[in-house]
Amino acid sequence: MLNDERILATFLELVRIHGPSGRERAVADYVKTKLSEINPGIEISEDSAGIATGGDCGNIIARVPACGRDVPPLLFAAHMDTVPLSEPVRPAVENGIVRSAGATILGADDRSGVTVLLEGVRALREMELQHGPLELVFTVSEETELAGAKNLDFDSLKSTEGYVFDNSEPFRIVCGAPSKNAVTFKVLGRGGHAAAAQKAINPIVIAARGIAAMPVGAPYEDTTCSVGVIRAGTAVNVIPDVAEVFCEVRSHSEDRLREITKKVVSSVTDAISEAEQPESGGGEPPARVDVEVRRCYSSYRVREDEPALARARAAMKTLGLEPVTHVGQGAQDANVFNLHGVRSVALGAGAYRPHSEDEYLKVEELVQGVELFVALTQIA
């Protein structure tokens, strides 16, 4: 039997620890201390991701030695960081739901996952269950485009099968996520006084025409395109020199990702070539645009017959849960693990509405997450 109260207590301790992306040191120290209390045989190391990402802490890798079973290792992961918080979290528990009492997020994304890994290994030990070797990975800077996982020391890992606890329902298996390109435009026009607007080349107008021509929304069922930020101008009577536009494209298909990214780029480059470019008299160059396309992460899709998905299904069934597979439109560390050959799915432990002040945790599902961790280690 699992100790529900202690699982909740661990979660409450974890959400109280301040640890936004790049500042996970206190969370990492908590994790290390807990793990060595639970089982002094766990070998704990920290990689150099903190240096690569400019953070105060690296990814924590904990190796739990096998206990009575000679089987290949399994990887379990959760991220230690949260999105930025406006104030310290004061968790409040009512009717089996944990919310943040203040005007800030709760951070159940992903302290619920961290709780599952810690209480999962504790449960294995207390229940004296046999299991194979486990590799636990606590990443940093997941919320900043998976920066911690991207800098994880994969050579030190032996697992080829992984489970990332960073989702909601404990019966849901996230078996796919898209690739993402970030597209940034710097439209360089010719600024001036609004009273001499005919001599200027207004970069805001060019950017706006470009955006209007973009295939925003869902140009394909598995592809989305969006504009997130526009930066330009200082005052209404001043025409700026520069307008910046930040867009993104996500897709489960590399072909469609390429196609839509190309369309986004040409929307703005066409707007430049179609723009009226009055002679300045001073010989200033015509308007132009600097474009940067950056790959943020790559998609994954775990098939039905792969061990990670098969084991997740089997484990859920032993708990009486009816598994539901889901292909998401967001990314998790699983994107990076899959890219590096650790075939991984994402699983949930009761965290809902992440990144919002309405975020909450279902205690019952947090406990089910721990049960799921244990069950995954018990499937032959």
Please tell me the distance from the alpha carbon of residue 256 to that of residue 249, in angstroms, as a whole number.
Answer: 10
169 binds Zn ion (CB under 5 A): no
Of the pair 166, 248, the CB lying nearest Zn ion is at 166
Instruction: Count the site residues for Zn ion by CB under 5 A.
Output: 3
* DSSP string over 139-178: ES-STTTTHHHHT--GGG---SEEEEE-SS-TTEEEEEE-
Residue among 24, 119, 166, 333 that touches Zn ion (CB under 5 A):
166
81 binds Zn ion (CB under 5 A): no
359 binds Zn ion (CB under 5 A): no
Residue among 47, 81, 109, 241 that touches Zn ion (CB under 5 A):
109
Of the pair 190, 250, the CB lying nearest Zn ion is at 250
Parallel, antiparallel, or unpaired: how do β-strands 351-352 and 360-362 relate? antiparallel
241 binds Zn ion (CB under 5 A): no
To the nearest whole angstrom, how small is the minimum distance from the Cβ of residue 36 to Zn ion?
Answer: 25
The window from 44-52, 106-114, 154-162, 265-273 that contacts Zn ion (CB under 5 A) reads 106-114
Kindly provide the residue ranges of all beta strands, DSSP E only, lying in the chain, ordered along the sequence.
Answer: 43-46, 60-64, 74-79, 91-94, 97-100, 134-139, 161-165, 172-177, 179-188, 192-193, 217-220, 223-232, 238-239, 242-251, 288-297, 300-301, 324-327, 343-347, 351-352, 360-362
To the nearest whole angstrom, how small is the minimum distance from the Cβ of residue 175 to Zn ion?
Answer: 17
145 binds Zn ion (CB under 5 A): no
110 binds Zn ion (CB under 5 A): yes
24 binds Zn ion (CB under 5 A): no
The window from 12-20, 68-76, 108-116, 189-197 that contacts Zn ion (CB under 5 A) reads 108-116
- The two tokens of residue 243 are 């307008």
Of the pair 15, 264, the CB lying nearest Zn ion is at 15
- The two tokens of residue 104 are 């800030």
| Number of helices followed by number of strands (H, E) in the chain | 10, 20
Binding site for Zn ion (CB under 5 A): 109-110, 166
